[in-house]
């Protein structure tokens, strides 16, 4: 995959230059390569744009749009139930496959302390930007959001490394949302998933479940499409589902 870095705001100059240096990517000035993506820093934040226009720009925003709506008007009952949340009990959760941090945000809104782990540098950059931008905006005019975001801490590493260094029982719940199996009809896949399928290496979650079960204090939760097989063919203690999604719960 080729990547074109576009900087339209002075705010992002140093940040993008550092990312490009660390990842050994050239900051191109010419017309973007149509096989790849652009990482764009502008006044709205950092976003990932498909140069072929396969889908809209991907930007994480905790201050407006879908996630803000879910914070204010609810949703996410199934995931809350899956991690075992109940009155007076807010589990400490490690999300080993953070992605765009949507599931983690829903849990942080519900009062859980979250550690988000992401191994892909581009996705980590989008997440890091969203957390910094969100905290900056919230501290001025939205103290409730500031408190929610302060419960989310982000790590840029492979989940295998996180699990190796994790003190047994320090996380109540370990959460896994592996990449869904590729669907044949591209149109049926959401824009974020299309991008993920293009940029993220496949199979990076293999073996995490077994290791997570040894480290979680209470349970490991795995998100799956409703009719998918169990992750790594390991039967869950029980599952809960709605029309499209299933959470497999492994009690430890």
Ligand X SMILES: C[S@@+](CC[C@H](N)C(=O)[O-])C[C@H]1O[C@@H](n2cnc3c(N)ncnc32)[C@H](O)[C@@H]1O
Q: State the Cα–Cα distance between residues 141 and 18, nearest whole angstrom.
A: 30
Minimum Å distance from CB 124 to ligand X?
8
With contacts defined by CB under 6 A, name the span among 23-31, 82-90, 92-100, 230-238 that binds ligand X: 92-100
Binding string, residues 110-129; x marks residues near ligand X by CB under 6 A: -------xxxx--x------
Shortest approach of ligand X to residue 98 CB, angstroms?
A: 6
Q: Count interface residues toward ligand X (CB under 6 A).
A: 21
Residues in the chain: 252
Using CB under 6 A, pick the residue from 102, 137, 217, 234 that binds ligand X: 102
Distance CA 107, CA 164 (A): 24
Q: How far is the CB of 42 from ligand X (least distance, A)?
A: 22
| Minimum distance from residue 120 beta carbon to ligand X (Å) | 4
Beta bridge partners of 208: none
Closest CB to ligand X among 103 and 248?
103
Question: Any bridge partners for residue 45, and if so which?
Answer: 42
**Which residue, 204 or 240, has its beta carbon nearer to ligand X?**
204
Nearest to 7 by CA among 38, 51, 53, 52: 38
- Rounded Cα–Cα distance for residues 84 and 101 (Å): 19
In the complex, minimum distance from the CB of residue 99 to ligand X, in angstroms, rounded to a whole number: 2
Q: How far apart are CA 187 and CA 119, in angstroms?
A: 27
d(CA 69, CA 16): 30
Residue number with the shortest CB distance to ligand X? 99
Dihedral sign of CA atoms 25, 30, 33, 36 in order: positive
Q: Extract the tokens encoding 125.
A: 């950059």
Q: How far is the CB of 63 from ligand X (least distance, A)?
A: 17
Segment interacting with ligand X, rule: CB under 6 A, options 13-21, 101-109, 142-150, 165-173: 101-109
- Stretch 20-79 residues interacting with ligand X (CB under 6 A): none
Q: Does 205 bind ligand X (CB under 6 A)?
A: yes
Q: What phi and psi values does residue 236 have, to the nearest 5 degrees?
A: -85, 165
Residue 149 · residue 131 · CB < 8 Å: yes
Which of residues 55, 99, 134, 222 is near ligand X by CB under 6 A? 99
In the complex with ligand X, the residue whose CB is nearer, 25 or 200, is: 200
Rounded least distance, CB 202 to ligand X, Å: 9
Whether residue 70 contacts residue 37, with contact meaning beta carbons closer than 8 Å, is answered with no
> Quick check: helix, strand or coil at residue 11?
helix
Among 97, 107, 172, 216, binds ligand X (CB under 6 A): 97
Contact residues: ligand X, CB under 6 A = 96-97, 99-103, 117-120, 123, 158-160, 177, 179, 196, 200, 204-205
């Amino acid at each position: 995959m080729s990547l074109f870095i576009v900087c339209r705001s002075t705010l992002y100059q140093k940040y993008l230059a550092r990312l490009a240096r660390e990842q050994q990517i050239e900051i191109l000035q010419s017309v973007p390569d149509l096989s790849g993506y652009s990482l764009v820093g502008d006044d709205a934040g950092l976003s990932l744009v498909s140069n072929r226009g396969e889908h809209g720009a991907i930007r994480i925003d905790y201050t407006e749009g879908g996630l803000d709506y879910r914070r204010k008007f609810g949703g996410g009952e199934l995931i809350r139930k899956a991690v075992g949340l109940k009155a007076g009990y807010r589990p400490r959760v490690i999300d080993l496959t953070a992605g765009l941090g949507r599931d983690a945000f829903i849990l942080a809104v519900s009062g859980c302390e979250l550690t988000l782990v992401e191994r892909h540098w581009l996705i980590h950059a989008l997440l890091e930007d969203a957390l910094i931008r969100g905290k900056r905006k919230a501290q001025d005019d939205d103290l409730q959001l500031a408190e929610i975001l302060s419960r989310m801490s982000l790590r840029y590493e492979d989940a295998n490394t996180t699990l190796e260094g994790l003190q047994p029982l320090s996380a109540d719940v370990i959460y896994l949302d592996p990449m869904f199996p590729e669907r044949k009809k591209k149109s049926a896949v959401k824009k974020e998933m299309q991008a993920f399928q293009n940029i993220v290496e496949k199979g990076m979650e293999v073996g995490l479940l077994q290791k997570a079960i040894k480290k979680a204090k209470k349970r490991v939760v795995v998100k799956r499409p409703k009719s998918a097989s169990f992750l790594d063919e390991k039967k869950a203690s029980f599952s809960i589902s709605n029309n499209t999604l299933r959470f497999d719960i492994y009690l430890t």
